[in-house]
Amino acid sequence: MKVISSKEFRDSQKKYLDMASTERIIIKRKNEFLEIVHRGNSIPDNPSPANDPYFNNPQNIERIEKALKQAKEGKVSELTRENQKELLGLQAIPFPLLRKLKRTF
């Protein structure tokens, strides 16, 4: 992986575009990073660099876009330990019982 500045990329575009076919090229621009992704001879419909089949389903893309919109609008909530236990239906195991369980394994 090679991280370069946007100026360095501008000055040597051909060099870095050629390198992108064999290694990861990351361009640092202000406070963000852009990655050059080599796609070969075609551009797949799937937006995942790894061609994850999850992204082939339009409903999954809609859910992601909806969640991103909600996050931008501040419609989010923090997932605390207590919330996790409640959502997953977990209960705390009393300490003496936990010690007995550890001995059996």
- Along the 105 residues of the chain, how does pLDDT read in single tens digits? 899 999 999 999 999 999 988 899 999 998 899 988 877 787 766 667 667 788 878 898 899 999 999 999 999 888 888 888 888 887 765 556 556 655 655
Is the residue at 63 inside a domain?
no
CA distance readout (Å), 94 to 82, 91, 99, 100: 16, 9, 9, 10
Q: Is residue 7 part of a domain?
A: yes
Is 88 among the domain residues? no
> Structurally, how many domains does the chain consist of?
1
**CATH number of 20's domain:** 3.40.1620
Report whether 68 contacts 74 (CB < 8 A).
no
Residue 93, in any domain of the structure: no
Give the Cα separation of 63 and 14 in Å (integer).
38
Pick from 34, 41, 29, 33: nearest CA to 5:
29
Domain that holds residue 22: 1-38
